[in-house]
Structure formats: C-alpha cells, structure tokens
Chain A
Amino acid sequence: MEQKTSVKILSAKQITIQNPLCEEWMENPLEYSEDYVRAVDPDFKQFISAGDARRMGKLLKRALATSLSALQEGGIENPDAIITGTGFGSIENTELFLDALVREGEQLLKPTQFMQSTHNTASSLIGIHTHCHGYNSTYSQKGFSFDSALYDAWMQFCVGRIKSALVGSHDEMSPVFSGFVRKAGHVREGEICSEAAISVLLAENGDNAYCTLEGVKLFDTPSEETLRKVLADMTAGSIDAVMTGMSGNRDNDLWYGFLNAMLPGVPQLKYKPVFGVNFSSSATGFYSAACCIREGRIPAILTTDGKPLECRKGILAVNVVEGRHYSFSLLKPCGK
C-alpha cells in the first residue's frame, strides 16, 4: 500500500478569545489584563436555527460554527471522518447536571444536561448535522486531545482509509471550572485561562489549500536521542520557525528548553499569550501555524522579539504536556 507523505489543510477556523472566525488577531489582536477570559462568540444564528440551538451549550454551538465554516471554505460537504479532541467536553452542562444531582437528591434530572455532559457530544452533533455517518471519534486526553485526534486522522490518511477529515478541538471554561483548573496546575501564573474551538479540514486533494501537513509524531517521555532524531528528520528540509506552547510562565516554558539546544537559531513562536491556555491550546497553535503559512508571514504578535518574519518554508508545531507528552506536526507551504 502506498504511504501518503502529505495531506492538504484546506481550511482552519477558530472561536477563541480573539475576534471569531477570522484572522484579525494577526494584525489587531485583542489584549486582556484579566486572567480568565471567555471566548468571543459570533452570531450563531447564521449557522444554527433557533430550534436546533436550544439544546446546545456554548461548546456545541462553537464546535458546529467552526466546523461548518471550515467545511464551507474547504468546499467539502461530507468529510470521510470527523475526529474531535476535547479535554473536558461540555463542562458547563456537566456542572449543571451535577449541581442538580446534589440539589434534587439524584431525582428529577434533566435529560438535556445529561446528554450534553458527555465528551463525545460535539463530534456526534457535527456528524448528525452534516449527515456524515462515517468514522466519528473523540479523544479526551486533557491538553493532548487535539494532538491525538490529529494523529488518528494522519494515520488513517497514511493507510488510505480516508480522503478527507474534519479534525477539531473544543473546550469551554466555566468560572468554577477555571478555578479548579488553576488549582490543579493546568493553567499557571501569568497565563490567561481561556476557551477555544478550532476546526481544521484536511484532504488529499483540493484547491486553495492553506498549506500541507507533512507529518505528525507523538511520543510519551521520549529520550533526548529520540527528540534529536525527530527534530532532525522533521526539519531536514528547513523551516521558518517552531510554533511552541510557551506562555511566558517559567515552569511551562522549561519543557521547551530542548528546542534551544536541538534547533539553535530557529525562531520560536508563542501563541498562548494571544489565545490563552486551555485544553485545546495545541489546536490553536496548529491553526496559527496554518494561517501564517497561508499568509506567507508570521505576525509580530507571535514572535519572541516582536518582529514579524517571512514564512516561506514551513513551521513545526510542537506541544509538550506535563513535561511528558510530546507532539510534533510539520506544516509546509503547498508545492514545497
């Protein structure tokens, strides 16, 4: 069986703490002084009827809006696979359901809240709404959820099982949950606790692609030798920069220290100060990398020295979670 070596990224859409469903953040990013910020929502009525929306929490509406936008821009109505990552799913409805459970003594529980409190609701909702009844899967691995979903899609492209896939990652953050997340150390001092819904459309073929995905690799506790080999293999054709999950918090940024030694001189980019930190953060980094390659430039807001860069060769997106889980995704301009 012929192994695929690249897949096109036909579109990428975001609803985050930046203006939604557009790339205005590249020129005029919204800036925040708060340490907890909810996503900026679009008018959902352009995507979802009031009747359909009434059982959807924020996460589901955002997942559907980014998915439908990505499918529309990419020109694919029915992708072969819908693969979704989410750290904690519709946590707001989960909270409501658990509150009712305690308040009502485990009686009189509302079915809608129960249905929405499961992690795989977003992926199945997208499947139902778009009439895509093919492969549908959800990965829930905290901050490694998107990476796992993307890897699944990549492997299925590689073995020829699918020709297109809608890959997304969606997480919401309620006020109560944001407190728990911070106490547990998932969001650290100096980082904005935020929300994100990202949808990316991948396909073997298609016009006007943002860029191509040339490889995805995941590791659990890799050795230094493994890291060196992976970085050497994936950056062999040269890249413009590395999209890192560095946030400015020292404890978090230490996990990316290996890049200084192993990729000396390669600019390191930071997307977390722009989009905040949540369980779908790595999807935001991937989306940002795809947008930079499409535009052929890296905006000053992402660079460490505050100067814009050209983007003609590609970006390696690197995510490190808890100093243990590593993912590497190589994005290149089309035709390179």
Chain B
Amino acid sequence: MLAAQIFAVIIFIAMFLMIVLDKIERHFVTLGCGLLTLVVVFGICMRSGSAIWQTLAVRDFVKPDFWYQVTESESKGINWATIVFIAGMMIMVEGMAKAGFFRWLCMKIAFLVKCRTIPVFITFMIMSSVLSMFIDSITVIMFLAAVTIELAQLLHFNPVPMILSEIFCANLGGSATMCGDPPNIIVGTSLGFSFFDFLTNTGLCAGICLVFTVIFFYFAFKKELAPTSNEPVDIAQLPKPSTAITNKKDFIVSSIIFGLAVVLLVSHSATHLTVATIGTVIAVITLIANAKDALELLKKVDYKTLLFFVGLFIVVGGLEETGILKYIADFIGDISGGNAYIMVAIILWVSALASAFVDNIPFAATMVPIIQSLAATTGVPIATLAWTLSLGTDIGGSATPIGASANVVGTSVAAKNGYPVSWGRYCAKLAPATVIVLVISTVYVFARYL
C-alpha cells in the first residue's frame, strides 16, 4: 500500500504542477495522470481490479438512482453526474447564445435604467450574480463584459471597474446554488445535496454578501466611473435590445428551455430527478428544438473541460482509495483539536487561499472526500463542512486574476478591447472585497451552524 500511496501523491502533485505551468493542455494532463493512476497505483501497486471499476464508476449510468433519487446518496470515483449535467448546460447555453438571449438581456437592462452609468453599474452587478446562479460564469462574463465595453464607449466611462465588479459578483452568485460553480456541483452530487439545500444555505450567505459587495464597490469605484469626457451622450446611438435577437422563434424557445431548466433545478428535491437527468433532458430538448443546428451546437460543447473532469476524478480517486485523503483529514482534525470553529475556519480560509491561486475545481474535488472523513471522525455535520468548502472555494477565486475562469475571461475581454488589467489593478480592489466577503461568510457559518 505504501508504494501505491507514494505514486498516488506523486501523480497528483505532478498533475497540479502541470496544470499551473500550462505547458500541456490541462485535459491531456488530467487524462494522462488519470491513466497513470489506473495503471500504476491501482493496477501495479494495489493489483486491485475493484478499485479501478469503483473509480471509473461506469456502472453508475445503469443505477436507477443516478437518474431518479429518492434517498440522498454519495458518489465515488468519476463523478459522472457532474459531467453529464455540465455537458447538458453547455448545450443549452450555446442554444441561448445563438439566439441572442444574453446580449438582449444585457441591453434590455441597460435601457431599463436609461443607460445611466451608476444604475447600470449596480444592476449589472446584480444581474451577474443572478445569472451565475444558473449559468456558468464564463458565459455570463463573456457577454456582460462585451456589452459593458460597448456602453462605456458610448457613455464615456472606464469599463474596467464595472467589469471587475461583474467578475466578483459572478463568482459570488455562483456560490449561491448547486449549479452556479463547478465546485458546488461536485460537492452537491458527491454528498447528495439538492439545489434547494444550496439556495437556503450558501444562497442566503451569498445574498447577504452581495449587499455588502454592491456597497463596497460603489464607494471603491465611484470616482473611477465618472465620465471621461464632457461630450453629450446620445443613447439613441446604442443598438436597441431587439437587434440582439438573431431569430425570434429561437429566442422564445431558448428562453422557455432556460425557464424549464430553472424550474427543474429548483424543484429537483421534490421531483427526485437528479442533476444528471436534468442535464440530459435540457440537452435533448435544446437539440430537438434546434434540430437544424444540432450538430453545430454539439460541436461547440467544451469537450476539453469534460475530459479534464474525467481525468481529475480518477487522480483524486487514487488519493482516496490509497487513504491519503484520510491522512489529510486526520491532520486537519488534529490541528483543530476537534474544535469545530477552528476546523471551519481552516477549511474556509485555506480553500479560499488555495482557490485564489490554483484552479478551484481540482481543489474542491480533492477536498470533498477529506470533509467526508472529517465529518465521520469528528462528528461535525457534513452539511456544515460542505457549505464552508463551497463558500471558501467559490469566493476565494475572486481574489486574483487567475483564481477563477470568470476572472480570466473578463480581464481578457477588457484587454482585447484596449483596457489591459494588471495584477496590481485587479487585486487593489478585488482582494479586499474577497477578504470582506470571507469574513462575512465565516461569521455566517459560525452563527448559523455552530
């Protein structure tokens, strides 16, 4: 077992380093490391066929509770539910983007507040949070940042503060629901929590934090949002929201599908439909509704990210099967001396710190078995640790330009349009905002669960 443990750790560290160094595409990294885990750790060192099967978890697809779940259950190995759900949502989002939904929504809200800079600033922050509760933050920021730049050029303001605030709110909104951010999907599907569980726990915390965030950014960026030119503004020059709609029928259909996805997600603890089922249903409906362009939508799915998940879960499975994650859990239990307050503080702040610099998806995938073990050995409810982990990983990612995907996309869209954002510029306001929100989250978890 010792050799298996050593190899599992070496493979995991090598995978993390290669992801950070970004020399090889990250899905090749995780798949390669996943293959090594299967062959070296499970095959050669452990000689355990059952470990391989358990980690590949292909039998999950034929289990009824993968699709319809009456009692909560936990999953091990490759978390296929996460992968199927994300794939389904990707197809739906592609359909919505093609119909012009996101651009229309951004323009509509800007017109509703008569394109005045501060109201646009505040409503876009809220919209960013709300959309990110249901849709991946990359898509949200891609459209929001593009419209922000368009508005900035017409209304003569610097778009960078607005884009940075939108990024922060997208990450915050993502923490509110099970499907908002990949770490939450992993936590939810691995530990058997529902969309509603997240909404009433991390969602409430995110809502409180959003109020403080809007106030903080308002005062932090008020001066920078002042008009950069005295030229009169003619909002008639802005394209009308309706021009964003590429095809009215597709637009209506994609809006209905989005509405259906929200209803299915909100009600899935009552309907017992799993996120895998919801992802599949939404994908199939989108493809049927866009039958002519189905192939194009399928081609646009980000398969690299899905493959990245497959490899990642195998490598983490290696650490889990060899007991390494149990050691880490015991270590956290020991240094906290069994004190739940210290344990929660460690999980929240270490998760946040790690997520600020490395991809929060592998971190969350690694931490899930650790908190499971911690809950079993220390008696702290698993739900408390799950909400703590979700808040830490989701919010911590906002602190630096590389902490979360939305940050990279938002700063890249800004730079491509002539507004480069340096690390210093980014961290000056978003790092303090992250610390404020983490403090609020810590107080929230302490007060509500301990």
The reply to whether chain A is a binding partner of chain B is no
Q: A residues within 8 Å of B by Cβ?
A: none
Contact residues of B with A, CB < 8 Å? none
